[in-house]
Amino acid sequence: MCLGIPMKIRKINGDFAEVESGRLLRNASIQMLPGLKVGDYVLVHAGFAIQKVNPERARETLKIANEIR
């Protein structure tokens, strides 16, 4: 099973972005999704942003994930 995590873009540096989810910070390739900007939410899997996500849905998903923990 594959799991993608909604993460918020904090900084963009070329084809990579610093993304966050809660206290988790990572660098992810954004090469497949042109036109992203700081503040956007993306679905991150295996170090790659694979889809732009609606901010409200991203927050809902993260809330559910936190309840499971």
Number of folded domains in the chain?
Answer: 1
pLDDT of residue 22: 83
Helix (H) or strand (E) holding 56, with range, is helix 55-68
CATH code at position 29: 2.30.30.140
**Per residue in 60-69, pLDDT tens?**
988 888 888 6
Give the rounded percent of residues in the chain with a pLDDT score beyond 70.
96
**pTM, to two decimals:** 0.89
- Residue span of the structural domain in which 26 resides: 5-68
Helix (H) or strand (E) holding 59, with range, is helix 55-68
Q: What is the pLDDT along the chain (69 residues), one digit of tens a residue?
A: 567 889 999 999 999 999 999 889 999 999 999 999 999 999 999 999 999 999 999 989 888 888 886
> Which of the 8 DSSP states describes residue 27?
E
